[in-house]
Amino acid sequence: MDADEQKQLLDVLQNQLEMQIELARQGNYKQVELIAEENDDTLKRIVAQKTSTSENFEKQRNQILTLYKKLELMIAAEKSIVENQQHQADNVRKTLGIYRTSS
């Protein structure tokens, strides 16, 4: 695989991550998940090749890692919010159940 193809794959991955971050900001986690599935093929192709160790490629890899970390934090924060809302809903159900049995 030549350097141009490597660069193209890294560009595709970086663009997809940036798109996922924007979609996560908008709360569109279903689309984030669909793009993540698309990323699998790109990642497999990147991993399968002997990548260049040039400074430009290293810089882009670091940018991609930063984007992954940012996306991971956004998803973790959303998961925490959803878990909190689920806990609150469970408490409401329990309270309603108590009122029903005492009536």
User: What is the full DSSP assignment across 42-84?
Assistant: HHHHHHHS-----HHHHHHHHHHHHHHHHHHHHHHHHHHHHHH
Q: Place 52 in a pLDDT band, splitting at 50, 70 and 90.
A: low
Q: Is 56 a domain residue? A: yes
Q: Is 97 a domain residue? A: no
By C-alpha distance, which of 82, 95, 101, 50 is closest to 9? 50
- N- to C-terminal Cα separation, the chain: 73
Q: Place 51 in a pLDDT band, splitting at 50, 70 and 90.
A: low
Bigger pLDDT: 56 or 74? 74
The whole domain housing 58 covers: 3-74
Q: Is 38 a domain residue? A: yes
Q: Is 101 a domain residue? A: no
Q: Is 102 a domain residue? A: no
Distance CA 38, CA 24 (A): 16
Give me the pLDDT at residue 58, please: 84
Give me the pLDDT at residue 72, please: 93
Query: 22: number of CA atoms within 13 Å, CB side?
Result: 7
Q: Is 91 a domain residue? A: no
| Whole-number percent of the chain with pLDDT over 70 | 94
Q: Is 29 a domain residue? A: yes
Q: Is the pLDDT of residue 43 over 80?
A: yes
Q: What is the number of structural domains in the chain?
A: 1
Q: In 10 A of CB 71, how many CB atoms?
A: 18
Q: Place 17 in a pLDDT band, splitting at 50, 70 and 90.
A: very high
Give me the pLDDT at residue 1, please: 57
Q: Is 95 a domain residue? A: no
